[in-house]
A and B are shown apart, each in its own frame.
Chain A
Amino acid sequence: MFDVCRKCAISLAPTSWSDPRTLVAMAGCYLLVTALAASASADQASAREWLNRMSAAFEQQDYDGTFSYFDGRDLTSLRVVHKVVDGRQRERLVHLNGAPREILRDGEDVACIFLPGDRLVELAQSIPSGPFARAFVRDYDRMAVGYDVVMGNEGRIAGRRAVQLLIAPTDEHRYGYRLWLDLETALLLRSELVNQKGAALEILQFATLSLGADVADSALEPEQNPGMVVSHLKLANADALRHEETGKSWRASWLPVGFSMASADVRRAPGSLAAVNTLVYSDGLAAFSIFVEAMPDRGATAAQSIAGATVAVSELIATNHGRQLVTVVGEIPANTARKIARSVKLNGGR
Chain B
Amino acid sequence: MNTPVNADMTDKLKESLSAVIDGEADEFELRRVLDEAARDEELTETWHRYHLISTIMRGEEVAGAGLRGSVLAAMSDEEEAQASEGLSLVSTSPSSTKEAANDTRRSRAWGPMLGTAVAAAVAMAVVVFVDPGSQSELPAVADAPALELVTPPSTSSPAAILASDTRAADAQRTQAYLIHHVQQTAMNRGRVVSFAKVATYEQGAGEQPVNDSPNESAQQRSQR
Interfacial residues, chain A to chain B (CB-CB below 8 A): 1-5, 7-8, 11-12, 26, 29-40, 42-43, 58, 67, 69, 71-74, 76, 78, 80, 93, 95, 97-99, 101, 114, 116-137, 148, 150, 152-153, 164, 166-170, 176, 178, 188, 191-202, 204, 229, 231, 233, 236, 238, 262-263, 269-271, 278, 280, 282, 287-289, 291, 293, 298-308, 310, 312, 314, 316, 325, 327, 329-330
Contact = CB atoms under 8 A, between A and B. Distances in A.
Given A73-B123, A126-B182, A312-B177, A168 B49 contact: yes
B149 interface: yes
A152 B57 contact: yes
Given A231-B114, A233-B114, A325-B173, 6 more contacts: A43-B14, A128-B188, A133-B195, A271-B176, A287-B181, A289-B177
B33 to A, nearest CB: 5
Binding site secondary structure of chain A: mixed
A71 B176 CA distance: 18
Q: Which 8 A-B pairs have the closest CB atoms?
A: A1-B25, A199-B64, A128-B190, A1-B29, A307-B124, A126-B183, A270-B176, A69-B196
Given A72-B71, A287-B189, A32 B151 contact: no
Interface string B145-159: 001111110011010
A18 to B, nearest CB: 17
B89 interface: no
Contacts, number: 381
B9 interface: yes
B57 to A, nearest CB: 6
Given A73-B124, A114-B112, A303 B174 contact: yes
27 contacts: A2-B26, A2-B29, A29-B36, A30-B3, A69-B193, A71-B200, A72-B68, A74-B75, A80-B192, A98-B224, A119-B119, A122-B115, A167-B56, A197-B60, A198-B63, A199-B59, A199-B64, A200-B64, A271-B172, A280-B184, A280-B188, A289-B181, A301-B167, A304-B149, A307-B71, A308-B71, A330-B181
B160 interface: no
